[in-house]
Structure 1
Amino acid sequence: MPSSPDIRTVGRFILSSTTRRTDCGRYAASLSIRSGRGEGTHDRVYRFIPLFPSSEAAAQYALDQGLGYLHQPALPA
């Protein structure tokens, strides 16, 4: 079962990381990067390959990846 999302707002973007426990007992991370409002909302969802020993480590990894993506100089529209 996925964890409750860890949410962070960065400018016009909302980052939401979630984790889930895998069959092997480790944790997988995913991240949603959302922008816009109403019918103009855009949401990108990323799932990451590494597995982590804790839910907290997985969530932090996802947020770090999202922050890195948002700080790229040529961020796609």
Structure 2
Amino acid sequence: MTRNATLPVSGPGRVSAMKNWRYIGMHAVAAAAFIFLLQHYGLNNTLESSLLWALTFGGCAAGLAYAQSNR
């Protein structure tokens, strides 16, 4: 009796790792876009201030999404 062993095409976790990075990126972009639109158009802040808030919130959202994806 012989056993036929099949090898996986890609290593374990490669596909899920790509999905995690896509999830993290989309989360960061969505948060940054939301806060930019709120700051710039909703609260009539300057462009520089709105971009700074968008960058900050996008970074925080990416950090939270990264923490959630590694749970």
User: TM-score if structure 2 supplies the norm length?
Assistant: 0.37
Give the number of the structure with larger relative contact order, counting CA–CA contacts within 8 Å between residues 6 or more apart: 2
Report the structure, 1 or 2, having the larger helix content. 2
Report the structure, 1 or 2, having the larger strand content. 1
User: Which of the pair has more CA radius of gyration?
Assistant: 2
User: TM-score if structure 1 supplies the norm length?
Assistant: 0.35
